[in-house]
Amino acid sequence: MKRIAVYPGSFDPTTFGHLDIISRSSKIFDKLIIAVITNPNKKPYFSIDERVKILKSSVKEKNVEIESFHGLLVDFMKKKNANVIIRGLRAISDFEYEFQMALTNRKLYPEIETVFLTPAEQWTYLSSTLVKEIARLGGNVKCFVPEIVVKIFKNKR
Ligand code: PNS
């Protein structure tokens, strides 16, 4: 039986931290599906199409698929026959939110497990929110995000 994992998130935008988690999880599972979701609690800066396009051009691993969806994550998991959710865990500050989501998802769909992966040390402080703030204020974000993100930021200014 194939081990299929789903890595859900806003990816607004994808950073080198996300790409690091994608690379690590693609080695553990037969198939990894990146699910780009619009988090109802956040107003995205990049459109869903832009976020998918960024991922498609940045992810090199062969066993990774990229999709977007609206709705409940557990419903998407069932549809995809996947039972593992991947989430990146950077610092203690991530823990409470991640713990709450993992247990809520388990309550909604007891067959799934959430697996937390830590990125390489150099990305443990990195966040899409800070990247957007720096770019909006005219700073250089080349060291945090793929080149395509830098280009889209420039076009939006
Ligand atoms: O990158 P983010 O914004 O931290 O990702 C959060 C995300 C998109 C994974 C979460 O909001 C989510 O799963 N949304 C889909 C709707 C859903 O299933 N909500 C219940 C989560 S317990």
- Residue closest via CA to ligand 1's atom 22 equals 101
15 C-beta closer than 6 A to ligand 1: no
Amino acid letter for position 130: L
Q: Choose the residue to mutate in 101, 105, 114 for probing ligand 1, maximizing ligand atoms within 8 Å of C-beta.
A: 101
Q: What is residue 88's predicted lDDT score, i.e. its pLDDT?
A: 97
Separation of alpha carbons 117 and 93, rounded Å: 15
Whether residue 44 contacts residue 128, with contact meaning beta carbons closer than 8 Å, is answered with: no
Q: Per-residue pLDDT tens for 125-138? A: 999 999 999 999 99
CATH number, domain 4-156, options 3.40.50.150, 3.30.950.10, 3.40.50.720, 3.40.50.620: 3.40.50.620
Q: Could you tell me the residue ranges of all domains in the chain?
A: 4-156
Separation of alpha carbons 18 and 109, rounded Å: 25
- Residue closest via CA to ligand 1's atom 8 equals 9
Of 69, 32, 75, the C-alpha closest to 52 is: 69
Chain-centre distance of CA 13, in angstroms? Answer: 9
- Residue closest via CA to ligand 1's atom 14 equals 39
104 C-beta closer than 6 A to ligand 1: yes
70 is catalytic: no
Q: Per-residue pLDDT tens for 63-100? A: 999 999 999 999 999 999 999 999 999 988 889 999 99
User: For residue 37, what is the DSSP state?
Assistant: E
| Element holding 92 (H helix, E strand) | helix 92-108
Nearest 10 degrees: Cα torsion 15, 19, 22, 26: 170
